[in-house]
């Protein structure tokens, strides 16, 4: 009763020009949206039973029963092929639970019997087009009991009756075409009978909110996988479309589904990109080659066939992968996003945006894709002139194919803060099966170890790693292997700069291992179980540091107030004096305990777990 009253209320509102929710429009046939006097279904309208209303067959889908409630079965002998094949108003449709856009075109509809029609046509999803052949079987012809006569009753006296027909369809796609299968389900279409007894397409309310005709809903089943997907299509509206359609006056795609093929500009943009890239020497790889490279570099598994126009790469990278174009688009917004242009940007405007030298978009696009997917030396000049981009492709996108570019990117990075902000990108591959970036780390170390100032970059990196160690989503053995390699680099540095190591506690490798064991004590057990990866020097160092920690524990004062280091960078500097310009003695990883010896002023004198004393800013300490 509640639902019926809501429909009645909405019907009255429709008569005064209020736009109705599509959920109500779709369930009440083509008249409801403007039906100031249309009678809703339900137990409020007993007079219908007296007028011969018959329910649609119970085995029909609910959406058809709802849309044909105000009707009764009648006999109609007519050729509906003209209505079924009406091409002035194209079908709109979807397939799958993610509402991928489905394009259905009827090439020919021909009557083969009193209630059967032969149909040929095509279906298109993304770039995949298939040809189909099948039948439509009319199951029930119905006449509306309380027909409307159009806005302001303009059609009164111009038809004998208005009605609809229900049928089943089965369309079989060509098995020899990729991604083919079978469409099957129910359909519903609307017609009216003229005074001359001709049955014609019902477009009486074509300009009204919620109008629809030739509605199809069912499933599509793949020949190869036997997988079924829901699908539907229709003219003006789509039945069973869930939250896909958010339009009140007319069909409008929910923005969250636009990237599933609904934005026609995607296809146009793709053609513009492919044309531009070919003219600029980009050698478009095969789709399989493109998939392999994206998996190798970014750890991204693309679709088996090209579908997505804007597949995201990494959370902190705004670029996207265009599968049909087989390239990476290096702009956060598409070519048709031009807010400075009045009105909708044209195709010509999109092409100009790409070709304009001033914005640099075209040059960047060509350089990135030539490098990443063609390994083209011609792209190196661009990155030599654009330090930030050189750092990005090497540090963030895992490209290591050009040693000269890698060295140049490392030199550029020395002028930035990249080592404190992209620890994971620098140390590990995005494709986790590749493990950690040993060769790249070696290149960074070789660059940094030649100069004391440059060595700070490497230390920033490794101490950031300790701070982020527990949060990194990699297998423990992979993280441990990376850690062991970093320690081996520091031991190599200490050997080459033994004049700096006047006490073992001042050795960079000793300080780092001390921080490691303090913040992640379980690491020692894992490394021992692995026999320290057959590194005897590492074993000796670990044992020395562990013994030092035990000595410190023996002198522990239970009354002492302990603090630990808290720093967003993952570590803080321990300095000789209480000043930001004082010499750095060592770096202390976050979560490491310290004994506060003197807490006067902003710079506190502390003692670390290995006995080293120095100063840290009080903001970097927190009481346990």
Q: Is residue 452 included in any domain, yes or no?
A: no
Q: Which DSSP state fits 150?
A: S
- Residue 497 has what pLDDT? 86
- CA 12 to chain CA centroid, nearest Å: 43
Q: Which residue has the higher pLDDT, 597 or 122?
A: 122
| pLDDT tens column, 463-507 | 889 888 888 999 999 999 999 999 999 999 998 888 776 677 778
Owning domain of residue 327: 263-399
- H or E element that contains 369: helix 361-374
Residue 30 pLDDT > 50 = no
Q: Are 544 and 504 in contact (CB under 8 A)?
A: yes
Q: Which DSSP state fits 245?
A: B
Chain position carrying tokens 């009645």 = 8
Residue 52 pLDDT > 70 = no
Name the 3-class secondary structure at 368: helix
| pLDDT tens column, 202-231 | 999 887 878 899 999 999 999 999 999 999
- Considering the chain, what percentage of its residues have pLDDT values greater than 90? 48
- H or E element that contains 222: strand 213-222
Average of per-residue pLDDT across 165-175? 97
Residue 155 pLDDT > 70 = yes
- Residue 357 has what pLDDT? 83
pLDDT confidence of 130, banded at 50, 70, 90? Answer: very high
pLDDT confidence of 17, banded at 50, 70, 90? Answer: very low
Identify the domain boundary among 343, 370, 399.
399
Q: Is residue 454 included in any domain, yes or no?
A: no
Whether residues 224 and 127 fall in one domain: yes
Q: Which of 503, 522, 494, 521 is nearest to 613 (CA)?
A: 503
Alpha-carbon span 68 to 54, nearest angstrom: 10
DSSP E strands, 433-526: none
Q: Is residue 189 included in any domain, yes or no?
A: yes
- Per the DSSP assignment, residues forming a β-bridge with 143 are 72, 163
Chain position carrying tokens 């299509």 = 233
Q: Which residues contact residue 343 at a Cβ distance below 8 angstroms, ignoring those fewer than 6 apart?
A: none
**With a threshold of 0.85, does the pTM exceed it?**
no
- Residue 12 has what pLDDT? 26
Alpha-carbon span 122 to 107, nearest angstrom: 7
Average of per-residue pLDDT across 397-402? 96
- Residue 561 has what pLDDT? 60
Residue 5 pLDDT > 50 = no
- Per the DSSP assignment, residues forming a β-bridge with 121 are 106, 132
Residue 556 pLDDT > 70 = no
- Residue 94 has what pLDDT? 97
Give backbone dihedrals phi and psi of 107, rounded to 5 degrees, phi first: -85, -40
Whether residues 84 and 216 fall in one domain: yes
Question: Lowest mean pLDDT: which of 55-59, 344-348, 459-463?
Answer: 55-59
Q: Are 621 and 604 in contact (CB under 8 A)?
A: yes
* Residue 605 belongs to domain with CATH number: 2.30.30.40
Q: Are 617 and 602 in contact (CB under 8 A)?
A: yes
Whether residues 213 and 78 fall in one domain: yes
Q: Is residue 459 included in any domain, yes or no?
A: no
| pLDDT tens column, 338-363 | 777 766 678 888 898 898 888 899 99
Q: Which of 263, 341, 346, 247 is nearest to 309 (CA)?
A: 263
Alpha-carbon span 187 to 184, nearest angstrom: 10
Whether residues 186 and 301 fall in one domain: no
pLDDT confidence of 588, banded at 50, 70, 90? Answer: confident
| pLDDT tens column, 416-439 | 888 877 899 999 999 999 999 999
Alpha-carbon span 110 to 545, nearest angstrom: 88
Give backbone dihedrals phi and psi of 173, rounded to 5 degrees, phi first: -80, 160
Q: Are 303 and 323 in contact (CB under 8 A)?
A: yes
Whether residues 227 and 350 fall in one domain: no
Alpha-carbon span 107 to 129, nearest angstrom: 14
Q: Is residue 591 included in any domain, yes or no?
A: yes
Chain position carrying tokens 């005074």 = 195
Whether residues 202 and 267 fall in one domain: no
Q: Is residue 197 included in any domain, yes or no?
A: yes
Average of per-residue pLDDT across 383-389? 96
| Tokens (6 digits) for 480 | 């441990």
Identify the domain boundary among 399, 430, 453.
399
Give backbone dihedrals phi and psi of 225, rounded to 5 degrees, phi first: -90, -15
Whether residues 252 and 388 fall in one domain: no
Chain position carrying tokens 């490392």 = 410
Buried b (16+ CB within 10 A) or exposed e, 532-560: beebeebeebbebbbebbeebeeeeeeee
| pLDDT tens column, 105-114 | 999 999 998 8
Whether residues 255 and 338 fall in one domain: no
- Residue 555 has what pLDDT? 52
Alpha-carbon span 1 to 40, nearest angstrom: 11
Query: Mind giving me the DSSP string for 382-429?
Result: HHHH-HHHHHIIIIIS---S-HHHHHHHHHHHTTSSHHHH-HHHHHB-
Residue 549 pLDDT > 70 = yes
Q: Is residue 105 included in any domain, yes or no?
A: yes
Whether residues 203 and 320 fall in one domain: no
Whether residues 268 and 331 fall in one domain: yes
3-state helix vs strand vs coil in the chain, percent to 5:
40, 25, 40
| Average pLDDT value over all residues in the chain | 84
Question: Lowest mean pLDDT: which of 22-31, 141-150, 575-584?
Answer: 22-31
Whether residues 97 and 181 fall in one domain: yes
Query: Mind giving me the DSSP string for 531-600?
Result: GGGG-HHHHHHHHHHHHHHHHHHHT--TTSPEEEE--TTSEEEEESSSSTTSPEEEEEETT-EEEEEE--
Q: Which of 329, 338, 189, 208 is nearest to 273 (CA)?
A: 329
Number of domains making up the chain: 3
Q: Are 25 and 54 in contact (CB under 8 A)?
A: no
| Tokens (6 digits) for 570 | 């993952």
Q: Which of 26, 86, 21, 14 is nearest to 211 (CA)?
A: 26
Residue 164 pLDDT > 70 = yes
Whether residues 61 and 148 fall in one domain: yes
Question: Per mean pLDDT, which of 48-52, 410-414, 598-602 is the most reliable?
Answer: 410-414
Q: Is residue 593 included in any domain, yes or no?
A: yes
């Amino acid at each position: 009763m509640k639902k019926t009253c809501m429909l009645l209320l909405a019907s009255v509102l429709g008569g005064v020009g209020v736009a109705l929710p599509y959920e109500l429009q779709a369930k009440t046939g083509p008249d409801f949206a403007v039906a100031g006097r249309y009678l809703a279904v339900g137990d409020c309208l007993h007079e219908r039973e007296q007028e011969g209303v018959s329910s649609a067959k119970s085995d029909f889908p609910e959406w058809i029963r709802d849309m044909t409630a105000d009707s009764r079965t009648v006999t109609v002998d007519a050729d509906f092929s003209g209505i079924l094949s009406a091409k002035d108003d194209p079908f709109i449709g979807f397939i799958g639970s993610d509402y991928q856009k489905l394009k259905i075109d009827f090439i020919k509809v021909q009557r083969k019997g009193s209630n059967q029609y032969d149909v040929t046509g095509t279906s298109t999803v993304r770039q995949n087009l298939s040809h189909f052949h099948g039948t439509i079987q009319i199951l029930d012809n119905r006449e509306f009991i309380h027909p409307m006569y159009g806005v302001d009753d303009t059609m009164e006296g111009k038809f004998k009756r208005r009605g609809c027909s229900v049928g089943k369809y089965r369309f079989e796609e060509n098995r020899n075409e990729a991604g083919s299968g079978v469409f099957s389900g129910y359909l519903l279409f609307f017609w009216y009978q003229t005074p001359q007894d001709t049955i014609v397409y019902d477009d009486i309310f074509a300009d009204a909110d919620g109008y629809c005709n030739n509605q199809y809903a069912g499933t599509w089943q793949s020949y190869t996988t036997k997988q079924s997907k829901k699908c539907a299509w229709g003219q003006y509206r789509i039945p069973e479309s869930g939250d896909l359609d958010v339009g009140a006056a007319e069909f409008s795609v929910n923005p969250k589904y636009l990237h599933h093929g609904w934005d026609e500009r995607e296809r146009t943009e793709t053609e513009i990109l492919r044309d531009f890239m070919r003219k600029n020497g980009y050698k478009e790889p095969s789709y399989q080659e493109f998939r392999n490279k994206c998996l190798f570099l970014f750890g991204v598994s693309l679709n088996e066939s090209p579908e997505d126009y804007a597949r995201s790469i990494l959370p902190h990278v705004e670029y996207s992968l265009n599968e049909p174009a087989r390239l990476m688009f290096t702009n956060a917004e598409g070519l048709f996003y031009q807010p400075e242009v009045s009105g909708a940007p044209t195709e010509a405007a999109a092409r100009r945006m790409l070709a304009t030298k001033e914005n640099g978009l075209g040059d960047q696009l060509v350089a990135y894709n030539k490098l990443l997917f063609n390994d083209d030396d011609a792209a190196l000049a661009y990155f030599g002139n654009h330090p930030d981009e050189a750092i990005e492709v090497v540090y963030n996108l895992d490209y290591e194919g050009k040693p000269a570019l890698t060295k140049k990117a490392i030199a550029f990075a020395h002028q930035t803060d990249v080592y404190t902000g992209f620890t994971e990108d620098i140390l590990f591959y995005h494709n986790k099966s590749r493990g950690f970036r040993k060769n790249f780390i070696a290149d960074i170390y070789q660059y940094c170890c030649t100069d004391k100032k440059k060595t700070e970059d490497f230390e920033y990196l490794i101490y950031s790693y300790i701070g982020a160690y527990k949060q990194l989503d990699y297998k423990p053995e992979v993280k441990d292997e990376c850690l062991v390699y970093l320690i081996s680099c520091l031991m190599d540095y200490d050997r080459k700069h033994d004049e700096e190591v006047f006490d073992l506690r001042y050795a960079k490798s000793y300080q780092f291992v001390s921080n490691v064991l303090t913040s992640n004590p379980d690491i020692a057990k894992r490394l021992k179980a692995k026999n320290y990866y057959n590194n005897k020097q590492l074993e000796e160092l670990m044992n020395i540091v562990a013994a030092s920690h035990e000595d410190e524990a023996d002198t522990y004062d239970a009354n002492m107030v302990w603090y630990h280091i808290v720093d967003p960078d993952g570590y803080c500097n321990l300095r000789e004096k209480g000043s930001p310009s004082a010499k750095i003695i060592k770096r202390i990883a976050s979560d490491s305990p310290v004994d506060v010896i003197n807490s006067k002023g902003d710079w506190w004198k502390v003692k670390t777990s290995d006995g080293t004393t120095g100063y840290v800013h009080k903001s970097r300490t927190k009481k346990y």
